[in-house]
Amino acid sequence: MPPFLLLYRFFDLNTAFNASILGHYILAFVACWLYIRRLGLPTMAAVFGALVYTYGWFPPRVSLEWAIVGGAWLPLALWCAESFLQTRLWRFALWLSVILALQMLAGHFLIAFLTQLTLALYIPCRLWGGRDSVPPESRQCRGRLAWALMGAVQLIPTWELKTTSQRATVTDEHNPGYGYIPPRYLTQLFLPWKWYASDREIVSVASPNMPRTNWVEAHLYFGLLPLPLIVWGVLDRRNAIPRAIRLLWLLLSIGAVVYATGCLIPITNHLPGFSFFEGPGRYGIIASLGAAVLAAAGFAAVCKKLDGLSMLVWWIVAFGATTWDLWDVSQRVTHATPVATSPVSRRDDSPIRKYLADRDIPTRMLNEGKNLPSLVGAGTYPVYLGLSPAAYYDTALALPQPMPFRETQPTAEQLDWLSRNGVTHVLSLTEVNLSGWPARQVWFGADPCLNVPLARNATHGFYLYELEATRGRVAWLEPANESRSELMRYEPTQVEIEVESASGGTVVMTDLAYPGWEVTVDGQPVAGIVVERVFRGVEVSDGKHRLVWTYVPRAIYWGGVVSGLALLALLTIGHVRYWHPNLLCRRAAPEGGLQTSHER
């Protein structure tokens, strides 16, 4: 995504991340304000609605960066759609296509899915219902709606990952019901103090027949004052927002809340797309936007009853009370704690990072912090990814449990697994009894990058051990005395290896055999093989050879082609609409003349 490329190219990781989060907060606020203004409400009412949306749903999810990055585009997409329906200016349709593409490129596909699902319901309802709120010219185009495909450059690779991931089917590992809102927990809407004492309360109301959830996924709160304003906004007969739009948002919000409870999962599990996504509680973003619109309508209705000083007092009370209310709840419901100095900003000071950087080969660590130690520049096991290749979650391929730390000594089966999977180091939070390990301790001490996120104070150190027998990243499947393999270059999309043997055989890389990896031997393309159901391998003859593995992501290329063609079509439409409007306006021209406005 262009903004990310600029931020992470010219700023350090911590600054770029903070700028991204702050920028998307601003985007969410401004976009919601624009949308509510487009619906006809005055400025201050739109500001109030933007406050409810931005600070009601986003702050508790600050630990879920993708929720903020993706959710900021939802009101902007609706603003473009509503603007197009009201004005028939084609620039808004073009911008909608760009926004949908950028949202898919921004990261989380579920939020993009929710945006498109909302549009798929919103636009037809606006065209076929509420005739007085949509110009006749807009209703004439309701049979010619189409979706742009500019986001295919992200959508096609995501679909490829879905078909090869642990989410290909509904399993215990991938349960779409994870992260739901227990129905009793919905009383948080008007009794937040009852539930926000600790995370244990939300666990206590979860049904034994449902999967896990937590108070961030199950959070849905708009503030206490906006609740009566929502009721007033729905019932007000002379509101600037047409009654059809208010009823539409009421129905969308109720539907989102019902789905957020997970009660419809048994049905939607059989529908395309729905079974792919987890976290029904995240549908609350639709309800939050609906609440913001209706609360803004109620805010405007109150303003109509007041004037002068009384209106100023109302503004101060409404904004002050709601801001404090939403801020207080956001401090109680979150998994993230702001710190003056983030751990990632100390990455260059990490002694573990410096030690591993001096190794001649890429390292892979078995550790107790899941994938967190990857911050210091090493591959880690176990992985911790919500969407990842299915091989990472195949119990037949995983390290036999329990994890061999603390008092537990590794079994022969576990040591064999570590060697075959190319694990080179072990990072432990406690000292390991090496009597059962073919390993030696190479470092001990505190690490300023890892101590804080793993909840260890400065006096607690890490123990780093190096395994003495391991395949590493590249090896012969059946090594012999006359065989040799050397890793010459190791990059994310290309790996170069020199091998030599007297009898030939299979060279294996202990990296995932994912679609798109191609290999050449001495410059000639050959067919790779999958070794032990997970690794990349290739057969070579005797003698000395140079192997080059290259990642050729055909799904991205095909997606890029589709996105490029869609962009070309949109540019063509824009060119014709602006420079040659008569070509496309003849059919829509009134009797006795042609429309010639460049704005059509």
343 pLDDT tier (thresholds 50, 70, 90)? confident
CA distance 382 to 80: 43
529 or 142, which is more confident? 529
The pLDDT score that the predictor gives to residue 589 is 47
How many helices (DSSP H) and strands (DSSP E) are in the chain? 20, 14
Closest by alpha carbon to 109, among 60, 151, 164?
151
> CA 420, CA 506: separation in Å to the nearest integer?
14
Residue 141's pLDDT is: 54
Is 584 a residue whose pLDDT tops 70?
no
Q: What is the CA radius of gyration of the chain?
A: 28
Total residues found in the chain within this entry: 600
Is residue 93 within 8 A of residue 599, CB to CB? The reply is: no
Q: Please state the φ and ψ torsions of residue 303, each to the nearest 5 degrees.
A: -60, -30
The SS3 assignment for 115 reads helix
User: Does 1.10.760 match the CATH number of domain 474-552?
Assistant: no
| 470/48: higher pLDDT | 48
DSSP assignment of 234-298 equals HH-TT-SS-HHHHHHHHHHHHHHHHHHTTTTHHHHTTSTTGGG---GGGGHHHHHHHHHHHHHHH
CB 60 within 8 A of CB 333: yes
Helix (H) or strand (E) holding 543: strand 543-551
- Return the higher-pLDDT residue of 600 and 413: 413
Domain ranges (residues) in the chain: 2-142+178-332, 346-467, 474-552, 554-600
Alpha-carbon distances of 421 from 414, 469, 491, 533, 547, rounded to whole Å: 11, 11, 19, 12, 20
Q: How confident is the model at residue 425 (pLDDT cuts 50, 70, 90)?
A: very high
pLDDT at 229: 97
Please give the Cα distance from 113 to 401 (Å, whole number).
37
pLDDT at 390 over 90: no
